[in-house]
Amino acid sequence: MSKFDEMKKVRDEVFALIGPLSDYRNENKYFAVLGEGSHDSRIMFVGEAPGRNEAKTGRPFCGAAGKILDDLLASVEIPRKEVYITNIVKDRPPENRDPLPSEIEAYGPFLNRQIDIIQPKVIATLGRFSMDYIMRKFDLGFIIEPISRAHGKLYDAQASYGPIKILPLYHPAAAIYNQSLKDTLKKDFQALKVL
């Protein structure tokens, strides 16, 4: 089965999921947001959950945070179409609240399959929930520290398909409310240039 077909299978299962956020999705005529980008990407960005713009369009990072992510990618000369961008939780939580542990648990297996299909060499986490999930998934739970200390550091990990690097980053939305974080993110993104 091709990567495209495997991803389509994941998408279809997410769309059919009767889970913790599916009623909210249906009531609001939202889309589940699987992800977008190259299925052969070396770099995968993993956010937390879709916002309103994302749920309305079915595209990840297409609002204000997406504009910041695009600017950050441009700063390291990486075209957005060459990376893969997704979230742990594939449906928008009400009121844009943080994802609940039960929601992360319900959607996490879909992200795990996406990682296995794409087989990225680098997983850049966007935000603390994403960092926590990915670090634990790759048996690095014992070295988790607050994102204020972990951001911009590269961690070596072992995936089923070989060695990978994990790069925790602040969520681009944080830079909307705190302009100084945009400079921090820009500096942290420099690590992607050498990977």
**Three-state SS at 39:** coil
What 3-state DSSP class applies to 124? strand
Chain centre distance of CA 75: 19
Q: How far apart are CA 108 and CA 113, in angstroms?
A: 9
Counting the structural domains of the chain, the total is 1
Provide the residue type at 83 as one letter.
V
pLDDT digits (tens, 9 = 90+) for 68-104: 999 999 999 999 999 999 999 999 999 889 999 999 9
Q: Which tens digits make up the pLDDT trace of 30-56?
A: 999 999 999 999 999 999 999 999 999
Q: Tell me the average pLDDT across 13-25.
A: 91
CA distance 70 to 27: 31
Statement: residue 195 has pLDDT above 80: no
Average pLDDT value for the chain: 95
- H or E element at residue 106: helix 101-118
Residue 114: which CATH number?
A: 3.40.470.10
Count of Cβ atoms closer than 10 Å to residue 124 Cβ: 26
Q: What is the DSSP string of 66-84?
A: HHHHHHHHHHTT--GGGSE
User: Which domain, by its residues, includes 123?
Assistant: 3-194
How far is residue 155's CA from residue 165's CA, in Å, rounded to a whole number?
Answer: 5
How much helix, strand and coil, in percent to the nearest 5, is found in the chain? 50, 15, 35
Q: What confidence tens digit (pLDDT) does each residue in 120-169 have? A: 999 999 999 999 999 999 999 889 999 999 999 999 999 999 999 999 99
User: What pLDDT is stored for residue 56 in this prediction?
Assistant: 96
What is the pLDDT, as a whole number, of residue 115?
98
**What integer pLDDT is reported at residue 19 of this predicted model?**
82
Angstrom distance (rounded) from CA 20 to CA 185 = 32
pTM, two decimals, is 0.96
Please check the confidence at residue 177 and state whether its pLDDT lies above 90: no
For residue 46, what are the CA distances in angstroms to 1, 27, 120? 24, 26, 11
